[in-house]
Amino acid sequence: MVRENYAQFLDGKDGFEHLRTHIYELVEFLHDVIKPESLNASFPYKVGIHNSCHGHRELELASMSERNLPEFSKVQKILSLVDDIEFVTLKRNDECCGFGGTFCVTNEAVSVAMGIDRVADHLSAGAEVMTGVDMSCLMHMQGIIDRDKLPIKTMHIAQILAGE
């Protein structure tokens, strides 16, 4: 967001260039800058990765299902450093969860329908935990999980990497 979309408001302003080139998303920072080879963490659960759209398609944290380019996932690569973690395969690898900022209330019905579907995909894939890089997506889906008392929970990727 800051890197891709703030230019239209802040271009040429003092410090913006510095900000734009020095801001990283967490996984991106770990993957591209720190490049850890191991993490002191274990997470013996089945995990589904929710590819949040802005990280996925704007920051290109992983290859997109729409494109015909080599496959990769920085998110999964970093998570793979955690011991005992198991990944599930989703039917729809990178569908939007429907949070969408103000969309979640201004287009409430669609937003909720999308969230329900996203959680269901993870559930039927056998995931115990859904993780991702974007807090707001997870908050939205946790809201649905809590309301429907579903046997799954969301965790931010940082929690898993930190060995919580």
Partner 1 sequence: MGHPEKAAKFIANNENMKWHDRALWFVRENRDLAVHGIDEWEKLREVAKKIKTHTIEKLDYYLEEFERNAKDKGIHVHWAKDAKEHNEIVLKILIDKGATKLVKSKSMLTEECHLNPYLESHGIEVIDTDLGERIVQLRDEPPSHIVLPAIHLKKEAVGKTFEKFLDTEKDNCDPTYLTRVARVHLREKFLGADASLTGVNFGIAQTGGVVVCTNEGNADLGTSLPKLHIASMGIEKIIPRLKDLSIFTRLLARSATGQPITSYTSHFHAPVEGGEMHIVIVDNGRSDIIADEDFKQSLHCIRCGACINTCPVYRRSGGHSYGYTIPGPIGSTLGASKDLRTNKTLPFACTLCASCTNVCPVQINLHNQLYKHRQSVVAQGLLGLKKHTILRVATWLMKHPSLLDFTGKMARKIVPKIPRALLYSKANVWGKRRELPKFPKNSFKELYRQQQKEKS
Structural contact between residues 141 and 112, judged by C-beta atoms closer than 8 angstroms: no
In the block, residue with structure tokens 């410090």: 15
* Amino acid sitting at position 3: R
CB of 84 to partner 1, least distance (A): 27
Structural contact between residues 52 and 137, judged by C-beta atoms closer than 8 angstroms: yes
Between 81 and 136, name the residue whose CB sits nearer to partner 1.
136
| 19 vs 143: CA distance, rounded Å | 33
Between 23 and 80, name the residue whose CB sits nearer to partner 1.
23
Between 40 and 65, name the residue whose CB sits nearer to partner 1.
65
Between 83 and 91, name the residue whose CB sits nearer to partner 1.
91
CB of 118 to partner 1, least distance (A): 9
CB of 38 to partner 1, least distance (A): 24
CB of 154 to partner 1, least distance (A): 10
Structural contact between residues 86 and 66, judged by C-beta atoms closer than 8 angstroms: no
Q: What angle do CA 105, 1, 67 make, to 5 degrees?
A: 95
Q: Which residues are near partner 1 by CB under 8 A?
A: 5, 53-54, 57-58, 64-69, 92, 94-96, 98-115, 117, 139-140, 142-144, 146-147
Between 21 and 102, name the residue whose CB sits nearer to partner 1.
102
CB of 105 to partner 1, least distance (A): 4
| 121 vs 115: CA distance, rounded Å | 10
| 66 vs 144: CA distance, rounded Å | 27
